[in-house]
Structures are given as C-alpha cells and as structure tokens.
Amino acid sequence: MVRTGVSWRSQWWTHGVLSILGFVTLYPIIFMVFNALKNGIETAASPFSFPIHPHWNNFVLAFQAILPAFWQSIIVVIVSVSFMLVFSLLSAYAFAWLQFPGRELLFYVVFALLLIPGILTLIPLFIEDKNFGLLRTPWGLIFPYIAGGQAFCIFVLRAFVRNLQEDLFGAARIDGAGDIRIFSLIVAPLCVPILITLGLLNVVGIWGDYVFPQLVLGTQHETVAVAITNFIPPPIAPSLDAFNLQLAAFTLSAIPIALLFFLLMRYFIQGITDGGIKM
C-alpha cells in the first residue's frame, strides 16, 4: 500500500508539473487567439479575458491583407523544400553507396558547413543575389534556401541510407538494376518518413524566416512573416483594431504549419525514430 501511495504521488506530481509546463507553453497561443477575436476597446479594457462577443470579421480582414504574401510564402516553401530534399537525397545516396575519388573529403566539407552560423552568410548571400539580379524576386530566396538547407539534410540522409540493408542493393543489381532504378525504386520509398521529417523542419524554418526575406525582397514581394510584421490594416478597418487584426494574421499564418504537423505527425515521429536509430 505504501508503494502504491508513493507511486500515485509521484505520478500526481509528474502530471501536475507537465500540466503547468503545457499551460505556460500554450498560453501565448491562447492569448493570441483570444485577442484576435476582440476589438481594440475590449483588448485595452481586459487583454487577458475570454472574448465575450467574438469578432470573426477580424480574420476576414486580416486574410485579405496578407493574402498576396501568403501565396508568395507557399510558392517559396514548396519549391525550396522540394528541390532541397531531392538534391539532398541524391547527394546522400552518392556519399553512402557510390565510390568516387575524394568522397570522404567532400562529405566532411559538407559537414563543415553545419558549423557556420547562418547569420554570417546574410551579407554574402545578399551580395550574390544582387550580382545575379535576383533581388526583389522570389528566386533570391529560393536558391539560397535550396543551397543552405542541404548540409543538414545530407548529413542525416547519408546516415540513414548507409544503414539500409545491403542485400536489397545486391539483389537489385543481380536483377540488372542500375543506380537510377535502385535510387527511385528502393532508396526513395524507404526514405519517405525521414524526408517528411526533414521537410517539416525546413518548412517551419522557411515559413517563419523574417530577416533574410526582409533583406532580399521589396514590399511588392513580401513573405507572410514580413507582411505580418509590417502589417497595414485594410482602409475599412478601425485604427483601434490594428493590433487585433495583426494577431488574427499571426493566427492565420500558424494554421498551415499546424495542419501539416497534424496530418503528418505519424510520419514525423517515425522519421525522427528511424533517423535516430540509423545515426
């Protein structure tokens, strides 16, 4: 009985602490959503209260204001992450299974790129975009995102691909399959969970990036993070509600990422587990 009591008390404290940490973590989101449903007067009177009369029109006005930037971010994210994963998986397969001079040296060079802080590359990337005429265009973001995100992806994918069963490759080569067929029919399907995991991590990073898009793009090609930070309410919106509309825009911008994690969570967890075991 004493052991049961100690166990119950231990579980009670564990659940209590986890509940407090969960509430502290989620409270900024709750605050954002609650105030997005208020007007300026209600927020000034009581910013921490529950919205008694929700103003759903705030989301309509906010969505109209950020819609161009929303589509711009979707295009940049889809193109950047897609090409990043394809090139990374091709490179990982080459580093893992193909024999060529300088293979290990090249891989360590790629690994060394992970040691360079991203903030140090902002000015060189800006100068390159300027020299290639990519400023004020989505390609000024897409090309650096594709190149910059490959180092970590190659590092993880190489470890995963290298630990695939060699018998699969031997059987495929006996059947006459070349590297292209082995890559497309064996390696790529087996890497789907880890690719989804890496894709989600990069989607979150690119979707929420503010500094580089602010540096490269103009006001006509804003991404959603830049547009929300520089939020300008529609002319028909009351000036007092600017803060609430901005919070509504933040809420809307978080919905696509939340949906992605909700729909792909099983693959995300599987990718993290498989990647950790392989590494």
For the record, the structure tokens of 89 come out as: 């998986």
CA distance 136 to 20: 45
Which pLDDT value is given to residue 273? 67
Which pLDDT value is given to residue 22? 87
Q: What domains does the chain contain, in order, with CATH numbers?
A: 64-278 (1.10.3720.10)
Contact in structure between 248 and 262 (CB atoms under 8 Å): no
Residues of the chain with pLDDT under 50: 1-2, 277
In sequence order, which residues have a C-beta less than 8 Å from that of residue 177 and are 6 or more positions away?
185
Sign for the pseudo-dihedral over CA of 179, 181, 187, 191: positive
Number of neighbouring beta carbons within 10 Å of residue 66:
25
In sequence order, which residues have a C-beta less than 8 Å from that of residue 160 and are 6 or more positions away?
92, 191, 194, 274, 275, 278, 279
Which pLDDT value is given to residue 278? 52
Which pLDDT value is given to residue 222? 86
Contact in structure between 228 and 249 (CB atoms under 8 Å): yes
Which pLDDT value is given to residue 1? 43
Contact in structure between 146 and 80 (CB atoms under 8 Å): yes
User: Is this model's pTM higher than 0.95 or not?
Assistant: no
Burial (CB count <10 Å: 0-12, 13-18, 19+), residue 121: middle
